[in-house]
Chains A and B, each alone.
Chain A
Amino acid sequence: MNCSETTSKYYRVNRLPHIWCAGCGHGTLTNTVVRAIDKLKLNKDEVVIVSGIGCSSRAPGYLDFNTLHTTHGRALAFATGIKLANPKLHVIVIMGDGDSSAIGGNHLIHAARRNIDITTIVFNNNIYGMTGGQFSPTTPYGDLATTAAYGNIDKPFDLCSLAQGAGATYVGRATAYHAVLMQKLIEKGIQNKGFSFIEGLSICPTYYGRKNKKGNAFKMHSFLKENCIDKKLVDKDPDKGRNKILIGEFYNNPQPEYIESYQVIIDMFQG
């Protein structure tokens, strides 16, 4: 399927153009979500996309599914209610780095702990873009932001380790440059019966990039290309991973899913 067919089939074309800045990685990441859904041939009526607040969270508005733009940080809690109420629905949550791990950090670890069948995709651009470039829980140590005028002294989260530690049963990371890998991880995440967490490294040329002299969008994409390495290669040769950002599938370990476990209780009472 070429790009325009995907667009007309899955996008609310009348809602375009989108609000993202020129060069932002979020459009590419949104497209990886769409392509994964297309590849899996999911019924559009049975797909729900839930988001929180921020640049990333505007993505669902452009997509022709059941879409829910919630409050800041709470997307997973809304999604939990939807999935429990109607387990037939494929529930996909798109959040940003601040959305998922600062204000929504508690909801993230508990949704992961329950292993509820929700696919969570974080568009991580290392900054609060919508509000103008404040540091987030994934802004690297020492970097500049509008609220870190002298360098960020907060240590950043490794979101994938956080999700895995909390109980996610499928975890992976790709980037806006590594779109094919990103799509594959999302496909596998959706297929995993349980809580899946996929981090998509994005770029924010407007705030994070400009503040930290990272160059234009092309240079920032090139940085992702040159500084990321697939975990599979590092597993064979650990030296290759030195000073690199790991991408790829990190964890795939199916466990009993929350709603299936609940259904066992319901079934106890059905004759």
Chain B
Amino acid sequence: MNDKGYKLVQGNEACVEGALAAGMRFYAGYPITPSTEIAEICSQKLPKLGGKFIQMEDELASMAAIIGASLAGVKSMTATSGPGFSLMQENIGYAAIAEIPCVIVNVQRGGPSTGLPTSPAQGDVMQARWGTHGDHPAIALTPNSVQETFEYTVKAFNLAEKYRTPVILLMDETVGHMREKMTFKNISQIEIVNRKKPSCKPEDYVAYRPDEDMIPPMASFGEGYRYHVTGLTHDETGFPTNSSHVSEGLIRRIVDKVEKNIDNFSYYEEYRLEDAEIVIIAYGGVSRSAKSAVDELRKQNIKAGLFRPITIWPFLEKQIYMVSQAAKEIYVAEMNLGQYSLEVERVACKNCRVKKINKVNGELITPEEITEAIGGSYEL
């Protein structure tokens, strides 16, 4: 660290620093490129803080272990990439229905299957939303720099704790492996959120009875509140039920507690949007190219701007709709064959054309590719 408080840090390293700052003291994972540094650094740092690291037998087990640790009261995390993310889907659904806070980091690489292990991609956007079966809430955040990786890892924990739900930090290989300067100087002022605990006596505790905010207070195992947790559809007591009425209520509540609060965690960046007629929507590593492309297009007198969602799930419907009202054309640039763009098309107003800039060859979309795609098709 230099005397101005800056340090050269890798994205994956910043993720660990953010997690530790948020209070993460349990990590379970399985080695996989390009996320492995997260596990390696956790294995070095956690015991020094009295925390625990365990390398599990696979990603199914890693996900299960972090849920168990969180139930025992410890903030927990795992990190993986596409193939492991697929295996984690089973217990991500468990964490969603049993309402266990935890953070899952997915440093995306090329897929499907083993795909391109060392190359960036953004092919897991829809999987982050719909990867596990059944209707469920989803929160996913997408940083585009090392500094942001730190900050949004903290936010991922805060959201997991606040809403009692798994939160996905959707990185990509570009962001995970880049190194840039990062400041730690405001670290002590970071807001840390901890899960809401029951204030009643154990005999009065009804484990899944929500407060007005739709979120039930959570006791840790071992604190004297003996209760039951299941992945089956359950009533307020936590025990399984086949009641159609109760089942409907549970699923709607766990989805609503997230979606109806979206205004509290709608993170995004707007760049040169004031008079923009052409809006590029990009996130993660690609958004850095998109920003350069905006500057280049402006030099060519094309009124371009960037809208960059950081909260990628739930979808920022309100903001994207506003953007589409002001723009003539939206270009969604992403390292997949069009995933986020499907949602943009869904909400964009009808007189705004939505076009796609896609790439799935394991290379980052360049600023030139964006300016060419836009310059070639945009009529002044």
Give A89 to B65 CA distance when docked, in angstroms: 15
Expressed in whole angstroms, the minimum distance between the Cβ of B56 and any Cβ of chain A is 7
Residue A218 lies at the interface, judged by CB distance under 8 Å to chain B: no
Q: Which residues of B contact A12 (CB under 8 A)?
A: 228
CB-based nearest B residue for A68:
B229
CB-based nearest B residue for A79:
B68
Q: Which residues of A contact B76 (CB under 8 A)?
A: 81, 85
Give A50 to B98 CA distance when docked, in angstroms: 14
Give A46 to B222 CA distance when docked, in angstroms: 5
* Given A74-B91, A110-B56, CB of A66 within 8 Å of CB of B227: yes
Q: Which residues of A contact B23 (CB under 8 A)?
A: none
A61 contacts B57, C-beta separation under 8 Å: no
Residue B230 lies at the interface, judged by CB distance under 8 Å to chain A: yes
Expressed in whole angstroms, the minimum distance between the Cβ of A72 and any Cβ of chain B is 9
Residue A265 lies at the interface, judged by CB distance under 8 Å to chain B: yes
* Given A61-B228, A67-B229, A82-B72, CB of A74 within 8 Å of CB of B222: no
Expressed in whole angstroms, the minimum distance between the Cβ of B323 and any Cβ of chain A is 40
Residue B314 lies at the interface, judged by CB distance under 8 Å to chain A: no
Give A191 to B65 CA distance when docked, in angstroms: 23
CB-based nearest A residue for B56:
A77
B-side interface size class: 35 or more
CB-based nearest B residue for A114:
B54
**Contact partner of A85 among B61, B69, B240, CB < 8 A?**
B69
B56 contacts A85, C-beta separation under 8 Å: no
Expressed in whole angstroms, the minimum distance between the Cβ of A105 and any Cβ of chain B is 10
Give A265 to B46 CA distance when docked, in angstroms: 10
Residue A174 lies at the interface, judged by CB distance under 8 Å to chain B: no
Give A28 to B138 CA distance when docked, in angstroms: 42
Please report the total number of A residues contacting B with Cβ < 8 Å. 39
A64 contacts B74, C-beta separation under 8 Å: no
**Which B residues between 230 and 289 are near A, CB-CB below 8 angstroms?**
230-232, 239-240
Residue A60 lies at the interface, judged by CB distance under 8 Å to chain B: yes
Q: Which residues of B contact A82 (CB under 8 A)?
A: 68-69, 71-72, 221
- Chain B 62-83, CB-CB to A under 8 Å as 1, else 0, gives 1011111111111010000000
- Chain A 70-93, CB-CB to B under 8 Å as 1, else 0, gives 110010011111111110110000
Give A154 to B26 CA distance when docked, in angstroms: 40
Expressed in whole angstroms, the minimum distance between the Cβ of B59 and any Cβ of chain A is 10
By secondary structure, the B interface counts as mixed
B58 contacts A80, C-beta separation under 8 Å: no
Q: Which residues of A contact B60 (CB under 8 A)?
A: 74, 77, 107
**Contact partner of B47 among A45, A64, A88, A266, CB < 8 A?**
A266
Residue A269 lies at the interface, judged by CB distance under 8 Å to chain B: yes
Give A141 to B221 CA distance when docked, in angstroms: 42
Number of A-B contacts (CB under 8 A): 134
Q: Which residues of A contact B221 (CB under 8 A)?
A: 48, 66, 68, 82, 86, 89
Q: Which residues of A contact B223 (CB under 8 A)?
A: 45
A86 contacts B56, C-beta separation under 8 Å: no
Give A71 to B26 CA distance when docked, in angstroms: 21
**Which B residues between 215 and 230 are near A, CB-CB below 8 angstroms?**
220-224, 226-230
Q: Which residues of B contact A69 (CB under 8 A)?
A: 228-232, 240
Residue B52 lies at the interface, judged by CB distance under 8 Å to chain A: yes
CB-based nearest A residue for B28:
A81
Expressed in whole angstroms, the minimum distance between the Cβ of B284 and any Cβ of chain A is 29
Expressed in whole angstroms, the minimum distance between the Cβ of B71 and any Cβ of chain A is 6
Residue A106 lies at the interface, judged by CB distance under 8 Å to chain B: yes
Q: Which residues of A contact B71 (CB under 8 A)?
A: 68, 78, 81-82
Residue A157 lies at the interface, judged by CB distance under 8 Å to chain B: no
CB-based nearest A residue for B93:
A71
**Which B residues between 325 and 370 are near A, CB-CB below 8 angstroms?**
none
Give A235 to B239 CA distance when docked, in angstroms: 46
B222 contacts A81, C-beta separation under 8 Å: no
A71 contacts B90, C-beta separation under 8 Å: yes
B56 contacts A70, C-beta separation under 8 Å: no
A80 contacts B226, C-beta separation under 8 Å: no
**Contact partner of A81 among B69, B90, B227, B239, CB < 8 A?**
B69
Residue A15 lies at the interface, judged by CB distance under 8 Å to chain B: yes
**Contact partner of A45 among B28, B57, B61, B222, CB < 8 A?**
B222
Residue B48 lies at the interface, judged by CB distance under 8 Å to chain A: yes
Residue A44 lies at the interface, judged by CB distance under 8 Å to chain B: yes
| Residues in A lying within 8 Å of B, measured CB to CB | 12, 15, 44-46, 48, 50, 60-61, 64-71, 74, 77-86, 88-89, 106-107, 110, 262, 265-266, 268-270
Offer 24 A-B interface pairs, CB within 8 angstroms, sorted by A: A45-B222, A48-B221, A67-B229, A68-B71, A68-B221, A68-B230, A69-B229, A74-B61, A74-B64, A78-B68, A80-B28, A80-B61, A81-B28, A81-B64, A84-B26, A84-B54, A84-B65, A84-B69, A85-B26, A86-B220, A106-B58, A107-B57, A107-B60, A268-B47
| Residues in B lying within 8 Å of A, measured CB to CB | 26, 28, 47-48, 50, 52, 54, 56-58, 60-62, 64-74, 76, 90-91, 94, 220-224, 226-232, 239-240
Smallest CB-CB A-B distances: 6 pairs: A81-B68, A77-B64, A81-B65, A77-B61, A85-B72, A85-B69
